[in-house]
């Protein structure tokens, strides 16, 4: 087994922290985390795949150990995040690669795929949505903010950033909550407690509407380029519903879709099963 290295890249003046494992020359796999996490969420998956892939897992801008500039110095949008991660892949030599997308990682990775379809060898979506039928009623307060971006609607969303709400995201839908390590929850809450972090996340809540607006663009990419596609989905996810996973087969009939008896953060309880599914998928 090769070691995991913890590195930093200077992306045109923006520091991106990332984990790297595996052997250069093997198939490249880019892991993209979601809200409110970091590359730490892949801590169990990476050792299970590093013999098969050259893996890179960055912390998205404003997350984890990557730079989190103030809002007056940086516009927190998914377009900006995708631009930086796109440039990051070039700097670390990821010219052709598969992507594993989760939550916020999906609109980030799908933007890169639309821009550079020739670079994408496959897509693994773990609760990474691209269809309106995948959005649960849990999005209603955020959608109200999209429709009326008032101070009151913004303040109403701060509850999503509370420590108990983060824990709930990890444990909801998990048959045995004792399987969920407290470490990821504690780390996410640590990052969210930094000065300015809440308002950055509220900016991204508002900008998430840009991702929904791009769903038809993402779907057109799927239909035109038919990337090899695997969806592994925690079926009790309170935010992204199973119909969102099934919808991929509408645009990519060959897509493989499987469901796991867990919630949003499926890797917390099913890293081994997800790794086995990925290995089997690439062995075909």
The set of catalytic residues is: 264
Q: Are 94 and 29 in contact (CB under 8 A)?
A: no
How far from 7 is each of 21, 43, 138, 250, 260, CA to CA, in Å? 11, 15, 36, 39, 32
The closest alpha carbon to 218, from 138, 99, 137, 136, belongs to 99
**What is the DSSP pairing of strand 54-58 with strand 97-101?**
unpaired
* Residues ≥6 apart with Cβ < 8 Å to 1: 47, 50, 51
3-state class (DSSP) for residue 91: helix
Report DSSP state, residue 253: T
Residues facing residue 20 across a β-bridge: 5, 56
Cis peptide before 66 (omega within 30 of 0): no
């Amino acid at each position: 087994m090769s070691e995991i290295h913890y590195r930093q890249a200077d992306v045109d003046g923006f520091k991106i922290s990332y984990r790297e494992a595996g052997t250069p020359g093997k198939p490249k796999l880019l892991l993209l985390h979601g809200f409110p996490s970091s590359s730490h969420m892949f801590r169990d998956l990476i050792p299970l795949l590093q013999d098969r892939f050259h893996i890179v897992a960055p912390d998205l801008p404003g997350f984890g150990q990557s730079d989190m500039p103030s809002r007056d110095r940086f516009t927190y949008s998914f377009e900006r995040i995708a631009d930086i991660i796109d440039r990051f892949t070039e700097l670390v030599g990821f010219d052709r690669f598969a992507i594993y997308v989760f939550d916020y990682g999906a609109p980030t990775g799908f933007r890169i795929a639309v821009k550079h379809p020739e670079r994408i060898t496959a897509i693994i979506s773990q609760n990474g949505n691209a269809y309106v039928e995948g959005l649960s009623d849990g999005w209603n307060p955020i959608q109200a903010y999209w429709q009326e971006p008032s101070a009151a609607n913004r303040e109403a969303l701060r509850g999503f950033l509370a420590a108990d709400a983060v824990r709930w995201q990890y444990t909801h839908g998990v048959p045995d909550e004792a399987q969920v390590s407290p470490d990821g929850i504690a780390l996410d809450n640590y990052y969210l407690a930094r000065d300015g972090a809440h308002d950055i996340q509220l900016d991204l809540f508002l900008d998430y509407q840009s991702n929904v607006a791009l769903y038809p663009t993402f779907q057109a990419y799927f239909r035109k380029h038919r990337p090899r596609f695997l969806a592994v989905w925690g079926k009790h996810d309170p935010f992204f519903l199973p119909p969102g996973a099934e919808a991929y087969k509408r645009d990519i009939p060959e897509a493989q879709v499987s469901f796991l008896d867990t919630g949003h953060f499926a890797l917390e309880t099913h890293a081994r099963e997800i790794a086995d599914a990925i290995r089997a998928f690439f062995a075909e």
